[in-house]
Amino acid sequence: MWCLVPEFSLIIVLVIALALIFDFTNGFHDTANAMATPIATGAMKPKVAVGVAAILNLVGAFLSTEVARTVSGGIIKEGDGGVLITPELIFAGLIGAIVWNLVTWLMGLPSSSSHALFGGLIGATIIGVGTQAVDYNVVAAKVILPALIAPLIAGGVALVATRLAYTITRRDVGKPDGRGGFRYAQIFSSSLVALAHGTNDAQKTMGVITLTLIAGGFQAVGSGPTFWVIAACALAIAIGTYTGGWRIIRTMGTGLTEIKPAQGFAAETSTAATILASSHLGFALSTTQVASGSVIGSGLGRRGSTIRWGMAGRIALGWVMTLPASAIMGAFAAGLALLGPVGIVLDMVIGTIVIMALFRWSRRNRVTHHTLLNDIDDAGRVVNIKKTPRRPTRHGRGDRRKVSL
């Protein structure tokens, strides 16, 4: 593949660069998903946690390429007379995804990088080629349905896991139960989440770059990502994870949702299990949403918990909005890109202006708690847990039946 590099046209180089930037921001944004709980419960020192997350993301990206194949080989139809989508349209889709991602980050809306990516691509394709170019079956089966179902699965699994963890370690009140030991377990469970993140999120960028190479005629239709694409994406997400971590470290201690070690361990194990199983089947799901589902589920697994429906509704709205909104952004960018080179330059200028404006805004406001761990933290606040839940005591066994277990 390297011998072809000199022949790459400018647009393909641009798309690859943009895709890698997207990958970087993905890692940057999602470090918190894996590493917020172990850092917060004191299970891992922040420097170590961030380093481990970066390395495991790198490793995870190499483990499986099923999701990349879903992105490059399924969603956009490759017609009989060659591939209908052009690198220009992928470029437009990426611009749409990045802009929407940054806008939601700015507004503190829960969003999913993955859905933004798919939305942007689909929107751009519909404008550029027509509605018939999108394979809606694949979109429904491998993107939309997993997006809806995976957080529910993760939540249910986390609920069961949390109850198991608490039930197995339960002892009479006053006797030490050793639940502090779950802190050690969190070191491993959060590492698994980081690994799972690499197997799902890094793949999406690989898929986009491969799709571009296929569209540009550099790769056979239906082939998987080549080694240099895998390596570049793995590195980009690892570097993003590492740099994103410093942001977390700087602002830790500003008040997170209360997550006990036992609960955090159960939630992380469920997240990792769900993402790894889905990645294996090629489902491109949002890791943030799965992690949020797990945190909510594990909160419900604890005693005395109730759901704050308003908060849950706000999160759900953010999830539902992402795909169509980024599709509109992508469509708009594609409309410009179709004007020719002028349109592409215009796209780039608009994209750069938005990114610069956001950068300046974030400098001015520094890092607030809200821009930091928004997604998972919001999920944690969906479940309200009473500070002093009724616990069965030795003298009051009769109360046990009343406690919802």
Partner 1 sequence: MIDWSAFLVVSVASLFSAALLVSLYSLGLRLLTTAGRIPLVEPHEFTGAITVLSPKKAAKQVKRARKAAAANPLTPGLKRLALCAGYACFVLCGIAVLYGVYLIVPALHR
Could you list the residues that contact partner 1 (CB under 8 A)? Answer: 39-46, 63-64, 137, 140-141, 145-146, 149-150, 153-154, 156-158, 160-161, 164-165, 168-169, 171, 175-185, 188-189, 192, 195, 199, 252-262, 265-266, 269-270, 272-274, 276-281, 283
Q: With contact defined as beta carbons under 8 Å apart, do 219 and 68 qualify?
A: no
Q: With contact defined as beta carbons under 8 Å apart, do 119 and 100 qualify?
A: yes
Query: How far does the chain reach from its first CA to its final CA, in angstroms?
Result: 59
Q: Residues 6 or more apart from 347 whose CB is under 8 A from it?
A: 91, 92, 95, 333, 336, 337
CB-based burial, 246-269: b 16+ in 10 Å, e otherwise: ebbbeebeeebbebbbbbbbbbbb
**CB 368 → partner 1: shortest distance, Å?**
15
Looking at the Cβ atoms of 119 and 146, the one nearer to partner 1 is 146
Looking at the Cβ atoms of 172 and 399, the one nearer to partner 1 is 172
**Closest of 195, 184, 199 to residue 264, by C-alpha:** 184
Q: Is 254 helix (H, G, I), strand (E, B) or coil?
A: coil
**CB 11 → partner 1: shortest distance, Å?**
33
Looking at the Cβ atoms of 87 and 282, the one nearer to partner 1 is 282
**CB 264 → partner 1: shortest distance, Å?**
9
DSSP 82: E
**CB 108 → partner 1: shortest distance, Å?**
19
**CB 269 → partner 1: shortest distance, Å?**
5
Looking at the Cβ atoms of 20 and 233, the one nearer to partner 1 is 233
E-strand spans in 19-178?
Answer: 78-79, 82-83
Q: Residues 6 or more apart from 94 whose CB is under 8 A from it?
A: 15, 18, 19, 22, 117, 120, 121, 208
Looking at the Cβ atoms of 244 and 282, the one nearer to partner 1 is 282
Looking at the Cβ atoms of 180 and 343, the one nearer to partner 1 is 180
